[in-house]
Amino acid sequence: MESRSSASVSRESARRYPVHDGGVPERCSRRRRQMLNRFGKRMGDHVNRSFFHLHLVSDSTGETLLAVSRAVAAQYEGISAIEHVYPLVRSAAQLERAMASIMDEPGIVLYTLVNPDLANELNRVCSAEGIPVLSVLDPVVNLFQSYIGTETIARPGAQHTLNAEYFKRIDAMNYTLAHDDGQTGEDLDSADVVLVGVSRTSKTPTAIYLANRGIKTANVPLVPGFALPEALSTTKRPLIVGLVASPDRIVQIRQNRLLSLNAGDDTAYVDRDSVAAEIAESRKLCARNGWPVIDVTRRSIEETAAAIMELLRAHRLQFIALS
């Protein structure tokens, strides 16, 4: 077959399988169309969103493809990807089923397939149909090979082997769940990180995200009228980080929380002055103890965790310097 450049394939694809403006793509299953219409109603009729099909074909879990594609899709306002994920594609039969779905609802195809026969077949079919297709890892693999000078092992899911790093993450997750929201607060010396903060400063989701990175994380709530665990003032090993947010943001989250519980909001828990006092006191506590503070008002969980991991690296270097 005559080869075509990716640019020419992309131009042809744009004509044959355009992004559908202000609704769902024409070639879309009835179930998916109903789901997207419901989504559009929740967003409001004034929001004019565009959708396109995004097919992610992986011989492993598909996490790499999801992370890369969502990072790129986030750069486009008013456009949403309809994700089709095909994990653990390791045989010709499995690839054939994935390609059948791609033909039914064409769109962009991204893949991570280390088997060259499967990758070539996927490229062949997509090119014949004018569907844009890209191996997400090939540019990185080629760069590594040119620098390192050796071939890859070509093993699907190599990053998910049950090695010491994997069991470290499991151990960290078990510790974090056991030390959530001040539970077993006297056992903090085993932690890598301890998060402190008033209610609704994203302590638990941040702790779980860090645990998934192999970082044992405890979190301790700062509640007016309740004493802190004694271990918090005596522990030396872990990095202790204070999480704060603006009073308006905390009040908004707490009001939503009460609403979900069908509880009344006539309480200091959502009183702005009381919340502001809580946050001011938490800042003073961190300042007295020399704990770093992160304002999570406009940060995602991932951004907060990244800042904590940077602090943890510096914290560990201090211990190395002292030893």
Q: Tokens standing for 221?
A: 């709530």
pLDDT of the residue at 157: 59
pLDDT of the residue at 262: 85
Domains delineated in the chain: 6-148 (3.40.50), 164-322 (3.40.50)
For residue 9, pLDDT over 60 is answered with no
Identify the H or E element spanning 220: strand 217-221
pLDDT band at 163, cuts 50/70/90? low
For residue 18, pLDDT over 80 is answered with no
Do the annotations mark residue 112 as ligand-binding? no
Do the annotations mark residue 217 as ligand-binding? no
pLDDT digits (tens, 9 = 90+) for 117-162: 999 999 999 999 999 999 998 999 889 889 988 877 666 656 555 5
pLDDT digits (tens, 9 = 90+) for 249-278: 999 999 998 988 888 878 899 999 999 999
CB contact at 8 A, 71 and 64: no
Residue 319 CB neighbours (<10 A): 10
pLDDT of the residue at 11: 46
Q: What is the pTM of this model?
A: 0.68
Do the annotations mark residue 197 as ligand-binding? yes
For residue 12, pLDDT over 60 is answered with no
DSSP-derived letter for residue 23 is B
* C-alpha dist (Å) from residue 183 to 179, 204, 228, 231: 5, 12, 12, 12
pLDDT band at 1, cuts 50/70/90? very low
**Vertex 25: Cα angle to 88 and 44 (nearest 5):** 105
* Secondary structure (3-state) at 295: strand
DSSP-derived letter for residue 192 is S
Q: Tokens standing for 297?
A: 């008002």
CB contact at 8 A, 196 and 243: yes
CA dihedral 66, 72, 77, 83 (to 10 degrees): -30
Residue partners of 301: CB distance under 8 A and separation at least 6 = 202, 205, 206, 209
CB contact at 8 A, 105 and 25: yes
For residue 239, pLDDT over 60 is answered with yes
Percent of the chain beyond pLDDT 90? 64
- Ramachandran class of 184: left when φ > 0, alpha when ψ lies in -120 to 50, beta otherwise: left
pLDDT of the residue at 96: 97
Identify the H or E element spanning 16: helix 6-16
pLDDT of the residue at 266: 80
pLDDT digits (tens, 9 = 90+) for 27-80: 566 665 555 555 555 444 435 678 999 999 999 889 899 999 999 999 998 899
Determine phi and psi for 38, rounding to 5 degrees: -65, -40
pLDDT of the residue at 6: 44
* C-alpha dist (Å) from residue 320 to 179, 214, 313, 316, 323: 26, 20, 11, 6, 5
Residue 1 CB neighbours (<10 A): 6
Do the annotations mark residue 200 as ligand-binding? yes
pLDDT of the residue at 263: 85
Q: What is the mean pLDDT of the chain?
A: 86
Do the annotations mark residue 62 as ligand-binding? no
